[in-house]
Chain A
Amino acid sequence: MPSAKLRLLAASTLAALVSWGCAGTGGGMAAKSSTGIPLGTSGPHAVQPLPDKPRFGQPISENELLAWNIDIRAPDGQGLPAGRGTVAEGKKLYDAKCLACHGEDAKGGSVYGTMVGGVGSFVKGPRVLTPGSMYPYAPILFDYIRRAMPMDRPQSLSANDVYGLSAYLLHLNGLIPADATLDANSITRVMMPNRNGFLVDDRPDTNAARCMTNCK
């Protein structure tokens, strides 16, 4: 049902595009509609009728967006860059750039808890959340390190650096051997223990009654 509705929405969007295809871009529309449609409406889902819709977006090419286009999709690893890194290279980088907060061998440090272990802790608890126990797909680790780490210099690491750091962390979690090298191909093939650990939202999952008297 949701996907059918989704297709319908997408189709109507496309149809709309066809009908306003001649509107052009960057048109100098006044902030008010020429047909007197109020532009400051408020209320649920109020969207103005579209015939005189202004267009202010400036075209940009995917090429011009390369430096921003850093997302990695999982599980297939779409977006993973060229490059490679070994466990040993990762350890060297880790000790220089990560250890201060995350501790020796990623076992937890001055600021953050452990990034190692926790596999098998979810059933009985307490649940220990680490990249090894929690991430369903290894490319997620690459994406996160590249965009957000190290915290004081995010987006400063090269692709090789990030492959190396990913390799080191996955090795500390017992998921790849000490002599492993990771690249776009091999990181996608690492089998993560929590791969099948997720259920898609099925709420509402409660059915409370509106009892008013003598409820307990």
Chain B
Amino acid sequence: MGRMIDVPSDRGSRPGPASTGELNGVLKSRREFLARGMAVAGGAAATGSALAAPLEIPPAAREMGRPIPEAMYGMPSKFEAHVARRRTDVLKNRQNWSDWSMTPLQHQPGIITPNGLVFERHHAGTPDIDPKTHRLAIHGMVRQPLQFTVDDLMRYPSVSRFHFHECSGNGLTDWLKPASVTVQQTHGLLSGVLWTGVPLSTLMEEAGIDPRGTWVLLEGADGAGHTRSVPMEKVLDDSLIAYAMNGEALRPENGYPVRAVIPGWEGNVSVKWLRRIKVGDQPWHFRSETARYTDPMPEGKWRQFSMVMECKSVITSPSGGQQLKGRGFHEVTGLAWSGVGKIRAVDVSFDGGRNWREAVVEGPVMDKSLTRFKIGWNWDGAPAVLMSRAVDSTGYVQPSVEDVKKSRAIMGFVQHHNAIQPWSVNEKGEVRNAIGQA
């Protein structure tokens, strides 16, 4: 099901029906029914024979469906089993504890990523932490060190906020030439989440910050003891201790039972399985903020504490590996976001960046949140190169790779890739990653 024909590799090693041949008769006729419905909806793309055939009463209308069990956590349709997180196809780690999985953005409508599809990045795997025994401590340069149970944290006045969450390494395989096929592989270290929790400022004020306290250490309870230093200013501005995401408890892989949420900043600063907060008067310079998560710069240098995720956008449909279902109308749509504010506008080019049209930015448009944009396109069958360019509320315009290359060294695993992503479309309607080609 979809507006595009999916990439074969995207249909690869997954559970669920993989081909028509594996489907039984009932499913086969349902699929035929769906195909006919699609053909009618497709209008110009539909064949005469499909339109000529009269619609039959579908099997689902002639029988009882599944009854409601006593208790059950609902799951997506079995026909959507291909919509799943995937590990990278490009940079395969030889172990999958310090590893990542990516969100299938090509299948995501709207701006919320379902919890089972929110991307993962762990440094020592996912712990299973009992919320009854978990403790969060705040100490260091405070008037009174404190500890909290998860129940304690849930008693505070709560806030819920939509924010994008993006790994600083999103796009690191695709700077100068295409390495990834799909948008899941180029941009899938990105998710949109409604976080619920306590403003970090509430807890910091209760502990009483020493006026000399200018930096805060956040430490996880996982096997990596993942740790970052965050400036006090950001902590007191809009940071949260979250215990829920998208209307339910955090998933284990996303920090259950509590995590930090540092809105708009690179994902790993929002330390998961948060166990300890320490106030200090300078940063700690952990491995994760020196040897890793730093940006190569000219003359052999490295940029440190580059935590803001700058304004960025990507077209998710059509995107790499998909194929257009014929000439005529296509809704071109994608996501835009900025770590410093709201999305003001998104422009789309169909000719590789020579000419641009302003897309419709669909509300809600929120601070440091995924924002959906859309623009109609009548494809005439000629080759095209599609790209999007976002502008945020500070007036910052999303750069091209060429722009970024002027100030940074693009060599090795380069973080903070917020440059424009081109997708090429050939005469057959096949969509390909065109980074560095346009």
Residues on A close to B: CB < 8 A?
Answer: 2-3, 5-7, 9-11, 13-14, 16-17, 29, 31, 33, 37, 39-48, 50, 53-62, 65, 68-75, 110-112, 122-123, 125-127, 129, 131, 134-137, 140-141, 143-144, 147-148, 151, 154-155, 194, 197-216
| SS class, residues of chain A in contact with chain B | loop
B19 at interface (Cβ–Cβ under 8 A)? Answer: no
**Contact of A16 with B205 at beta-carbon distance under 8 Å, contacts A71-B217, A111-B94, A123-B299 already known:** yes
Interface size class of B (residues with CB under 8 A): 35 or more
* A/B interface sample: 17 pairs, CB < 8 A: A2-B231, A9-B232, A43-B161, A57-B146, A59-B145, A70-B225, A71-B284, A144-B287, A197-B300, A199-B304, A200-B303, A201-B307, A201-B308, A206-B399, A206-B406, A212-B356, A215-B354
Q: Contacting A206 at CB < 8 Å: which of B219, B306, B407?
A: B407
Closest to B201 in A: A47
The 8 A CB mask of B351-363 against A (1 = contact, 0 = none) is 0111111100000
Contacts of B214 in A (CB 8 A): 3, 6, 10
Judge whether B158 is part of the interface by a CB distance below 8 angstroms.
yes
Q: Is the CB of A44 within 8 A of B367?
A: yes
* Contact B233–A198 (Cβ < 8 Å): no
Whole-angstrom distance between the Cβ of B357 and the nearest chain A Cβ: 8
Query: B137 within 8 Å of A by Cβ?
Result: yes
B377 at interface (Cβ–Cβ under 8 A)?
A: no
Minimum CB–CB distance from B435 to chain A (whole Å) comes to 16
A155 touches B148 (CB 8 A): no
Closest B residue, CB atoms, query A127: B412
The smallest C-beta distance from B340 to any residue of chain A, in angstroms, reads 9
Contact pick for A155, options B225, B310, B354, CB 8 Å = B225
In the docked arrangement, what's the CA distance between A58 and B155, Å? 13
The interface of chain B, by Cβ under 8 A from chain A, is 94-95, 97-98, 123-124, 137-139, 143-148, 152-153, 155-161, 199, 201-214, 217, 219, 223-225, 227, 231-233, 236-238, 275-276, 278, 280, 282, 284-287, 290-291, 294, 296-297, 299-308, 310, 345, 347, 352-358, 366-367, 389, 391, 396-400, 403-404, 406-409, 411-412
Look across to chain B and name the residue whose beta carbon is closest to the beta carbon of A17.
B208
A135-B287, A148-B225, A211-B356 known; A14 vs B123 contact (CB < 8 Å): no
Residues of B within 8 A of A143 (CB): 284, 286-287
Q: Name the contact of A208 in the complex, choosing from B152, B156, B398 (C-beta under 8 A).
A: B398
Q: Is the CB of B148 within 8 A of A58?
A: yes
- Among residues of A, the one whose C-beta sits closest to the C-beta of B405 is A206
Instruction: List the A side residues contacting B155 at CB < 8 Å.
Output: 29, 31, 54, 56
A33 and B157 contact, Cβ closer than 8 Å, known pairs A73-B280, A197-B301, A201-B305: yes
What are the residues of chain B within 8 A of A126 when measuring CB–CB? Answer: 411-412
Does A208 contact B397, Cβ atoms closer than 8 Å? yes
What residues of chain A lie closer than 8 Å to B161, measured between beta carbons?
Answer: 42-44
Task: From A44, A45, A147, give the contact of B227 (CB < 8 A).
Answer: A147
A201 touching B304, Cβ below 8 Å: yes
Are A6 and B231 closer than 8 Å at their CB atoms?
yes
Q: Is there an interface contact between B209 and A14, defined as CB atoms closer than 8 Å?
A: yes
Please measure, in the bound complex, the distance between the C-alpha atom of A47 and the C-alpha atom of B156, giving whole angstroms. Answer: 11
Query: Which residues of chain B are within 8 angstroms of A44 by Cβ–Cβ distance?
Result: 161, 238, 366-367
